[in-house]
Structure 1
Amino acid sequence: MSCIVEQSRGMKQIVVTQYYTASAWGSGLMDILATPAMIALAESTCMESVQGDLEKGMTTVGTKVDIEHLSPTPLGMTVTCKSKLIEIDRRRLVFQVELFDDKGLIGKGRHERFIVDADAFQHKANAKSES
């Protein structure tokens, strides 16, 4: 199914612009990094860290998030997410994630993804609107 190995690592960065703020995402009124934006960064970091190791036509989908948002990050700061694959159970992948801004740790936790056939999964989702 894949060549994924435990301890696979990923890293991704964003600069906090208005797009990533709580006021823009509707999760708050402040111009600071939104928790949903931080979680989206964590998910994409994990996904990208293993996507290249999957067979053609396969992808991963997020199924569980347990991430603490520990500190606010203002506009203009860089946020770095680091992920490490810590468990593989058949198609289930569990990642440890840590997120940092220019001043230190801002988030940490775990994220779970499942390996799926992309076309079959999309077809299953589309079928919901056809019934």
Structure 2
Amino acid sequence: MRVLCSSTLIGEFFVIGFAGLVAMKDDSLEMSTVWWVCGVAMVLSVLLCGMVTRPGGVQLGWALQIGLIASGFFVPVMYVLGAAFAVLWWASVHYGRKVDDIKARWAESQGAQPAQPAQATAGPDAA
């Protein structure tokens, strides 16, 4: 799950940065506010890469997704991009957990099999 979710979060990092550039062109928004909000969201997306498997990591990721969609009030294209990343986040969590379960079952089945003793090869001295 960590790899899929981290990939989504890194993609969001770049989208948030580009959305900040777009929001900067809006005269009704303060440039410092735009960059504080974008900067916090970008740092959060990077920090979440390491927190995904910890308790509350996925929930913080969902909070970031809601924030991305809500940013559509200021940059309308973010409604679409935020929704797309929310779907990617869901898929990353859902399929990442499935992959983790499959890996755990495979590792368990490998560990459950008794080790085969190495058979001595018959050499010229064996007889």
TM-score range, shorter chain: under 0.3
Normalized per residue, the structure richer in strand is 1
Task: Tell which structure's C-alpha radius of gyration is larger.
Answer: 2
- TM-score using structure 2 length: 0.25
